[in-house]
Copies of this chain bind each other. A is one copy, B any other.
């Protein structure tokens, strides 16, 4: 199970009721935060999230609206008594910028480990318990989207284990993929496990024009969170100039990539009521939702 929450849904400027775009992904008792603009910690606090569980912060790019909340959040995490390291993953060239921002932090009681994704092609990394793939984007500066896959163990089938008379205390090893020896027989996991399961897949893309990498990497996502900077198709020229997307462009990507659900986020401050334009997106991709701050969903696969 993954729990996904939009911590903020604003682009460029925080509004009194719309914090800057940021997303929290909770899985296996840990959290990943995507982007950390000004006031992210305020919204996390409003949502009563435990900031101490954040192990990794993924930064899409180093425009101020995506990163200036970092020093404050890291200090607040320090105040929780954390001593375990925090990983910050950033696009190429942005490591120095993190260090510039953190100059106001003074002492932090844990290590901050910064990883730059230097390649301008998708990169996979699995160090933090789920598979993350970076998505090269097209913005004014180096910018990345991220796609997450949480691999799910096949279901354990107790009736098969009982048929083989395997004692219950050995079941967990088999479920974890280990062979066990029982009454001089080697029992292998596939003897008691169900079929391979599809991972839970979530993709997050903001601050870009459409590009072919996006459609390829996010394919078949259970949830695709995408910027919808402008609702009205008449703002196409603005979108091209500012390297952002229309609702309709996000919906086209969702449709072409066969995702299950699309959430729009990262609205222009001029877009006061995203619901007004949601029909434009739904005409292209029916299962589109206009995201709002602290909108949350548990994504579960039972099959």
Contact = CB atoms under 8 A, between A and B. Distances in A.
Given A38-B38, A38-B72, A67 B104 contact: yes
B41 A42 contact: no
Contacts of A62: 104
A12 B79 CA distance: 10
Closest 3 CB pairs of A and B: A100-B100, A64-B104, A64-B71
A71 B37 CA distance: 11
A11 to B, nearest CB: 12
Nearest to A41: B14
Contacts of A19: 42
A69 B103 CA distance: 14
B106 A72 contact: no
Interface residues of A, number: 33
A72 B38 CA distance: 7
A76 interface: yes
Interface string A54-91: 00000000111101110110011001000000000000
A128 interface: no
A157 interface: no
Given A100-B101, A101-B101, A42 B67 contact: no
Q: How many copies does the complex hold?
A: 2
Interface in A28-51: 37-39, 41-42, 45-46
Contacts of A41: 13-14, 38
Nearest to A62: B104
Given A16-B42, A42-B14, A97 B101 contact: no
Contacts of A65: 72, 75
A68 B16 contact: no
19 contacts: A12-B75, A13-B76, A14-B39, A14-B42, A14-B72, A19-B42, A38-B72, A39-B39, A63-B106, A64-B104, A65-B72, A65-B75, A68-B71, A68-B72, A68-B101, A97-B104, A100-B100, A100-B103, A101-B103
